[in-house]
């Protein structure tokens, strides 16, 4: 497809954006001895006794379980789906319930063959936690008019809700009209309450979703944000909760957004920061980072946040790459709300996903068969040695409790103690509550916390504050 010419100023801006020196980032085989077919997601599983990953092999329709046993990485099949197998379709996303060890619930996103559908499904594992139990229920099923722009990532936010992003329905130039249509779930980031089904659906709508009270009854209440083209891979920052989306562009620009509640990211009126089809207006949010198509940079693949060593120059950086150029970029939000970047390495093969695990290892899946999974390596990319994020989610919690800011915790929460400490997933003490004043004050931010009770013999609780 013919690409528009860049003017001189645009060329200079592009060169300035990518002129940072190449840093010392290399790549190693993350799971020596194992090969995979067309990997689109690498997700560490919470609550496991040994380090365990679910690897999605896109066109095989396979969830592969990877574990380290006696120093050797092993691979086995958790479940195999029958999926569509054109380029952008297949088995695309997976997310595990925050209390997976006890609930055994996990969520997948895939495309059906034949009459193409985009399906988000809840499934259940058996007692081993690494085999599917054959129990499933559909949350979302959309008739898809084309086989591209499927997006596909799933993830739980710190608020305990499931987030899911789907592209604009495919084709070219928003041909199905979904980008700015809030009556469709295509081209949207959705936010679902999978713990409280309601209104005849297998999920509920969080009360603070932005369009819950919209006057138009046809506006989709599931929407969290809108105006995306193809949010193929996206991620949460595990420390501050920022939702980073790498949205694949059309002819000229690739972009990265930090997604906010109710925000409109402009497609197709905008491609990247520029007007494209229709009117670009002040309500549309420009990307925090974008790059023009040049030197074979034409398809952004993300995304993973590094939160390993706080002393690292990459701490808090988002890593993305490009499907065609194979370069790796480190992006960091600055004080202006935009982002700066540097080129940090060159992949040895064509990428299809980047993910981070609980210790902030940055993992890269390859868009080919019989390939290794790579890990970004270097002196500034040490994993977090024993992070709370990884350690606590591997413990057997007494229970997961959900509560709203401003609510009063029940007396039994304190197990006879006079106080309890809330610790966030970065290991920082967020609040100390007392049995005399058990109110979750407005100063406590929504998120996922570990509740520790002094002197209690019980296991700590997971507390999801909304």
Domain assignment present for 2? no
- Of the three residues 372, 390, 408, the one that is the final residue of a domain is 390
Q: Are 301 and 412 members of one domain?
A: no
Is the residue at 3 inside a domain? no
Structural domain of residue 92, as residue ranges?
8-390
Same domain for 52 and 68? yes
C-beta separation of 107 from 139 below 8 A: yes
Instruction: Please indicate, yes or no, whether residues 455 and 343 belong to a single structural domain of this protein.
Output: no
d(CA 127, CA 144): 35
Q: Are residues 434 and 450 in the same domain?
A: yes
Check residue 388 and give its pLDDT. Answer: 41
| Per-residue model confidence (pLDDT) at position 17 | 42
Count the domains in the chain. 2
Query: Quick check: is 340 in a domain?
Result: yes
Residue 1 lies in a domain: no
Note whether 302 and 267 are same-domain residues.
Answer: yes
253 within some domain: yes
Q: Which residues, other chains included, contact 404 with Cβ-Cβ below 8 Å and sequence gap of 6+? A: 440, 465, 466
**pLDDT score for 349:** 96
Instruction: Answer yes or no: do 262 and 173 share one domain.
Output: yes
* Structural domain contains residue 161: yes
> What is the reported pLDDT for 466?
76
CATH number, domain at 268?
2.120.10.30
**Rounded average pLDDT per 10-residue block, the chain, 466 residues:** 36 39 80 98 90 97 94 96 95 94 95 97 98 98 97 92 97 97 98 97 98 98 98 92 96 96 98 96 95 92 91 93 95 82 93 95 97 96 64 53 84 84 77 89 81 72 77
| The predicted structure's pLDDT at residue 459 | 66
Q: Which of 341, 362, 390 is the last residue of a domain?
A: 390
User: What is residue 1's predicted lDDT score, i.e. its pLDDT?
Assistant: 32
């Amino acid at each position: 497809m013919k690409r528009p010419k860049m003017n001189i100023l645009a060329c200079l801006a592009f060169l300035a954006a990518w002129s940072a020196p190449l840093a010392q980032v290399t790549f190693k085989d993350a799971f020596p001895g194992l090969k995979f077919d067309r990997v689109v997601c690498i997700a560490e599983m919470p609550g496991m006794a040994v380090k365990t990953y679910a690897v999605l092999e896109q066109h095989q329709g396979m969830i592969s379980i990877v574990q380290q046993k006696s120093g050797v990485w092993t691979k086995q099949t958790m479940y195999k789906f029958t999926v569509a197998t054109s380029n952008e379709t297949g088995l695309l996303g997976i997310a595990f319930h925050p209390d997976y060890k006890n609930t055994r619930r996990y969520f997948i996103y895939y495309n059906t063959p034949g009459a193409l559908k985009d399906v988000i499904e809840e499934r259940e594992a058996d007692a081993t936690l690494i085999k599917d139990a054959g129990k499933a229920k559909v949350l979302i099923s959309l008739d898809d008019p084309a086989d591209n722009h499927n997006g596909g990532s799933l993830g739980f936010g710190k608020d305990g809700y499931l987030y899911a992003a789907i592209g604009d329905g495919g084709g070219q130039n928003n041909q199905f009209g979904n980008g700015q249509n809030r009556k469709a779930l295509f081209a949207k980031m959705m936010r679902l309450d999978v713990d409280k089904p309601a209104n005849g659906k297998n999920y509920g709508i969080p009360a603070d979703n932005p369009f819950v009270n919209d006057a138009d009854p046809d506006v989709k209440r599931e929407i969290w944000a809108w105006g995306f083209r193809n949010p193929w891979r996206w991620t949460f920052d595990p420390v501050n909760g920022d939702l980073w989306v790498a949205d694949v562009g059309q002819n000229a620009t690739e972009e990265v957004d930090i997604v906010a509640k109710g925000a409109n990211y402009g497609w197709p009126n905008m491609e990247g920061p520029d007007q494209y089809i229709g009117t670009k207006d002040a309500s549309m949010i420009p990307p925090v980072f974008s790059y023009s198509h040049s030197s074979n940079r034409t398809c952004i693949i993300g995304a993973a946040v590094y939160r390993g060593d706080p002393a690292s120059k990459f701490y808090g950086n988002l890593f993305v790459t490009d499907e065609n150029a194979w370069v790796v970029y480190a992006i960091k939000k600055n004080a202006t709300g935009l982002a700066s970047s540097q080129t940090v390495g060159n992949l040895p093969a064509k990428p299809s996903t980047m993910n981070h695990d609980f210790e902030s290892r940055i993992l890269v899946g390859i868009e080919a068969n019989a390939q290794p999974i790579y890990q970004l390596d270097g002196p500034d990319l040490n994993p977090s040695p024993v992070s709370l994020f990884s350690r606590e989610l591997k413990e057997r919690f007494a229970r997961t409790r959900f509560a709203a800011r401003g609510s009063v915790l029940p007396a039994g929460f304190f197990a006879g103690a006079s106080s309890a400490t809330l610790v966030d997933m970065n290991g920082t003490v967020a609040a100390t509550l007392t049995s005399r004043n058990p109110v979750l004050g407005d100063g406590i931010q929504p998120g996922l916390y570990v509740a520790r009770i002094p002197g209690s013999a019980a296991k700590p609780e997971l507390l999801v504050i909304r």
